[in-house]
Structures are given as C-alpha cells and as structure tokens.
Amino acid sequence: MPSAVMKHLGRTFAAAAALAALGGAGHAFAQTYPDRPVRIVVPFAAGGPADIYARAVAQHLTETLKQPFTVDDKPGGGSLIGTDIVAKSPADGYTLLLISNTHTVNETLYEKRPFTLMRDFTAIAPINIAYLALVVHPEVPVKTVGELIAAARAKPAGLNYASSGSGTPYHMAGELFKAMAKVDITHVPYKGSSGARTDVMGGQVQMMFDSISTMTPFIRQGKVRGIATTGPKRDPVLAELPTVGETVKGYTAEIWLGLMAPAKTPGAIVEKLNAEVQKMVQTPEVKEAWAKQGAEPMRMNTGEFTKYLNGDIAKWATVVKVSGAKVE
C-alpha cells in the first residue's frame, strides 16, 4: 500500500481515537459532576417568579446531586446583564442560566446584544409555563376588558401599564394587547416586577400584566382589581375572571421558564441536568404545588427544548414587528 495512503489512514484512525477519548472523558466527567457548588444566575429581580422557581429547582438539584446549587440574582438591562455573565463563564456546567421568554423576545427587541442566545448557549430543560393576570388600580373605573378597551380608545395614551422591564413577558403582554385590541396605552418599564407592582397598587400607574401566582393575593386583598387572565382558557386559580381572549379573540400571553448553559458545555452534563429537571417537574408534589400557583410543568428533552426556543424566537419577532415595541 502506498505510504501516502498509509499516512492518511493513520491520521484518520488517530483522529477517531482522539474523538472517542474525548467522548469517554465527557461521560466520565458527567459521572462525577458536580463535585463542587453550582451557580444558577437569574437575570431578574429577587422575589419574582423566575427567582422563586429557580430556588425550587436549585433545592431539588442540591438534594439529588449532593452538591449546593445556589441562586444568584443579577437583574438589569432587561436580563442582558445577568445573561452576559453566564455567556462569558466557563462551559463546565458550574454556571447555569435561568431563562424566560424575555430571552427569546430580546433576540429581536435589542438590535445590539453582547451575545446571541442560540449561538452562545445550549438548551438544558424547560421548567414551567404560567399565564398572567391583567389588573388595574381600584380607582380606575373599569371592570371588564371591554370597558378597559373603551376607556383606552376614549383617551389615547391616557392609560399607563407597568412592566418589569423592556422585553419581559409583562411588557410583551401589553404590546400584544395594544396591537390586537387596537388601543394606545403607554409602557412604563421598571427594573423589576416588585417596583412595578408596588406602583400599580399605589396608583402611580393604572394597570399591569403580572404573574397570577404573585398577583392573586393582592386581588383577594382588594389592592388591585382583577380584570382578566391571559391563558387560552380560564385559570383555576382565578376562575372568576374571564380570559382576555373572550373579548380580544385569539389573545394569549404567557411566561415560561427554563435552564440553559454556556455553549460547548459537555453534552453528558447537559443531559444529566435535563434528566434531573424532568424528574422534578413530573412529581405529584410539584404538579400539585405549582397548580395552586397557576403554573404548569413543562417536560422536553434537550432537542425538543432547542426546537421550542427557536420557535419562540420566531413568534416574538413577529409580535415585536407588528406591535412596534421598542426599548425605552
């Protein structure tokens, strides 16, 4: 056999052996992972749904993987600050990112970002999905979605709605409402949901789309008036409220949460984390507890979650374009 062919075959076999060794090392690494604490960066303010559910996931992973999983809230910049921290972290499975549909919105809403979601991160697993409550301050003289639309049309730009920041699900729920209900309401972004919620209850801002789990106690206490929920059907937590879609046909808005890691994190580690999160969200205890909060567990393998993320990016790109949403 010619020496050139022999050399080529030698290089081929060497490359194959190297790849096999790397694959074996990755699996061996995953078997011992984690062997030190793991940080879950939440790029949103403390006290909101992302923070709350991140802590639930962290507790489960701490118990099952026998190493501390800690939550590190890094809000700001419409989630860009905390997300960029993770993008620049080592791809070793020890720094993870809690994401929401804020991230898929931001792929279009922010023309300049220090990262690209599907290039700089790898999908681990979704966590849950929940819908929102549309509320107004008690002094706003509306009790139904129809009355709210009429009031907004009677005084264009006269009603303000608060959100936890540009690109968040609360912001985009308002932009979608503007576009589909054909009303002119003014977005007032905050640095977190707590400040937005406080100002709606205080009357500084008239209305807000907020998570059902967080807002329900304030509705019950009369600090805000519940107008509707944003799911495809009435929510069992606030069953007395209609859906926005009963008046504005086809309207739905949600908030979902999930986990990602820096790109090039070993696949075996990603799969190990995916399996653990899937185990957690299908337990009866979690399903029951989250149902009372208006949240539904989501289960997907890594490939399914990747496909879901790409679809959500495309969906919100259309909403951003149609609504004319901008970063304030």
CATH 3.40.190.150 fits 36-129+255-323, yes or no: yes
- Three-state SS at 96: strand
pLDDT-derived band of residue 29, with 50, 70 and 90 as boundaries?
A: low
Which residue from 89, 141, 99 is spatially nearest to 305, judged by alpha carbons? 99
CATH 3.40.190.150 range(s) for the chain read 36-129+255-323
Q: Is the pLDDT of residue 28 over 70?
A: no
pLDDT score at 322:
83
| 82 vs 79: CA distance, rounded Å | 6
Q: Would you say 253 and 132 are in contact if contact means Cβ atoms under 8 Å apart? A: yes
Question: CATH classification of 131-246 is 3.90.1300.10, yes or no?
Answer: no
Q: Model confidence over 300-327: pLDDT tens digits?
A: 999 999 999 999 999 899 888 888 888 8
Reported as a single tens digit per residue, the pLDDT across 100-139 is 999 999 999 998 999 999 999 999 999 999 999 999 999 9
- What distances in angstroms separate CA 104 from CA 100, 110, 162, 179, 229, one per listed residue? 8, 11, 20, 19, 22
* Residue 94: pLDDT band with limits 50, 70, 90: very high
pLDDT range class, residue 6, cuts 50, 70, 90? very low
Give the residue range(s) of CATH 3.40.190.10 domains in the chain.
131-246
